[in-house]
Structure 1
């Protein structure tokens, strides 16, 4: 199957703002703001300053799965090059502490200190994702949903939290998505929709952050085709 890069400069004519109309765009924006405002941000454990150089010296084990400088070549394992340091810290801590299930990762991170995690996060945050290709059969529909959402189904634009180019909003804890493997992205969306991306506490509540609760709500509104299309578009983002 031929594959192609997704160009992010400008909008195709059929995806112009005018083609969606001011009312639809406004409705999507209001929906997005409502979801974000409705979730209180989880207070991160007081941030420890990470040292990228120290992280590079500790990253040898990570490269076995995540690739040189965080550019994984295995679709099931995520690209972490360029990922926001705060997000990496949060996720690795949750895996280490048993809040997020990961049979492969947990043994690797169980002995890491918070300083180790901060250093590794700082190292990978300054790396550059290599970029990949998007499946031409699916990316156009994924682009439409990513940029504009679907107000009729209560789905906000992904770009509102993850940025127009998929680079995330690090200060708000929203992760970068650009150039992520479509296989990995689909698995995460499936897990969010099924409520299994994070473990549950004794009261049956998710041990994920409020941001994760937002994602679970959105993922449940996506069809299997939506997830496939979005994952393909995200993989090709530059």
Structure 2
């Protein structure tokens, strides 16, 4: 069993290394000029409804761009931006934004207790799985599985995405994993988790 875990870890590390090597961060910086208005020069958006891209896994950034371009994920602003991008453009942009340092966030103190409970243990009474199971104890995600880094992400953006998954407005999650989890979450739980995530480091 231990040998199997080591082998899988090595393969995942190699896959992540390959994904990071595919893009040119300097080229991505040049190509990011059109992204700056919403996502900021360093990937730290000033508007909390737009996601921070700084420090995000390149594999996840590329997947989202591909999904916007292919119509799997729909957004009136992002879909037209992604349409003209080549895969190399996406690799370069992903390499640039992933190389930037994310500005940390702070959680609302009155939301931390419930947010931490749901994030770490879920809600057994309503069969809500813990967020930590996929996104890790510090919210750093899993690049090999294309599970995003959510630590430090804007609470407003996280809350909107969770509600979009719950309503079906967003449906580009693998095997309906996110939609199945949030289907049983209350608005209060979603808001608390979003605040907790914003303060994770």
TM-score (norm 2): 0.86
Which residue is 1:234 aligned to? 197
* Aligned-pair CA distance for 1:169: 0.7
Choose the corresponding residue for 2:85, options 112, 133, 138: 112
Contact 2:173 2:179 in 1 (8 A): no
Query: How far apart in 1 are the matches of 2:61 and 2:78?
Result: 13
Which residue is 2:114 aligned to? 141
Q: Structure 2: 5+ residue runs without aligned partners? A: 1-18
Alignment of 1:1-238 (within 5 A): 49-198=22-171, 208-211=172-175, 213-238=176-201
* Aligned-pair CA distance for 1:209: 4.2
Q: Which whole-Å deviations, capped at 9, do the CAs of 1:71-109 have from their partners, x for residues lacking one?
A: 011011001111111111111111111111100111222
Secondary structure (helix, strand or coil) at the match of 2:110 reads coil
Flag the structure with larger Rg: 1
Query: How far apart in 2 are the matches of 1:129 and 1:140?
Result: 24
Kindly indicate whether structure 1 or structure 2 has the higher relative contact order, using CA contacts under 8 Å at least 6 residues apart: 1
Query: How far apart in 1 are the matches of 2:187 and 2:81?
Result: 32
Query: How far apart in 2 are the matches of 1:56 and 1:140?
Result: 39
Query: How far apart in 2 are the matches of 1:152 and 1:158?
Result: 16
Secondary structure (helix, strand or coil) at the match of 2:56 reads coil
Q: Structure 1: 5+ residue runs without aligned partners? A: 1-46, 199-207
* Aligned-pair CA distance for 1:68: 2.1
Displacement over 3 Å in runs of 4+: none
Query: How far apart in 2 are the matches of 1:214 and 1:151?
Result: 17
RMSD: 1.6
* Aligned-pair CA distance for 1:151: 2.4
TM-score (norm 1): 0.73
